[in-house]
Amino acid sequence: MRSQHETDIFATLIENYSMAGEYLLEESSSVITKTGLKDITWENLRIKETEMYGMRILGFPALQKETFDNWISINSQPSLLSSWINNPKVNLLSRTEYHNLFNQYDHRWSMFYTLTRPGFSDDFSQALIQLTAFCPITPQYGNLLYMERTSNKWETKLDYVLFNQ
């Protein structure tokens, strides 16, 4: 059951973030556990709303503990994402290919993405996943996405900005 939900979440993210034709590291990335501002913990993410450095930050008040724990656990070791991503329009790259293309002048406007595997609640009604995007020319960003399943569709309900440079 988990693998079908992973496939659905990856398909949703590929569509919503226009990853078609772009590059995705075929190996799941590690969880970013620290930002420049505070530790990413279940307790910190559940804060409904806070203000830091003049920015209003919305948390994930409905985030279940098992969702967060599952996300941390499933990403303790890297995994190949090719088992769950079956979109021929996404260029899955090995770590060596990824870094090689990233540093080539001809790819200076390309987007290079990394994903963690999603963590799920016990009933598969919510998920937590990390998405990062890098472009050699433009600003980079990383988001922690809180997703909920409504009927058979996954939707991003909230995101927590990990970095934006």
In tens digits, what is the pLDDT along the chain, a chain of 165 residues?
799 999 999 999 999 998 989 999 999 998 875 554 456 788 888 877 766 556 566 788 899 999 999 999 999 999 999 989 988 889 999 999 999 999 999 999 999 999 999 999 999 999 999 999 999 888 788 889 999 998 889 999 998 877 776
**8 A C-beta contact, residue 155 and residue 67:** no
Q: What is the pTM of this model?
A: 0.89
**8 A C-beta contact, residue 98 and residue 111:** no
Predicted local distance difference test score (pLDDT) of residue 41: 83
Q: Which residues contact 125 (CB under 8 A, 6 or more apart)?
A: 148, 149
Rounded to whole angstroms, the Cα distance separating 42 from 108 reads: 36
Instruction: Give CA angle at 84 (41, 59), nearest 5°.
Output: 25
List the structure tokens of 58: 């919305």
Residue 146 CB-density burial (10 A; 0-12 exposed, 13-18 middle, 19+ buried): buried
> What is the DSSP code (8-state) at residue 136?
S
The residues spanned by each domain of the chain are 2-164
Predicted local distance difference test score (pLDDT) of residue 139: 77
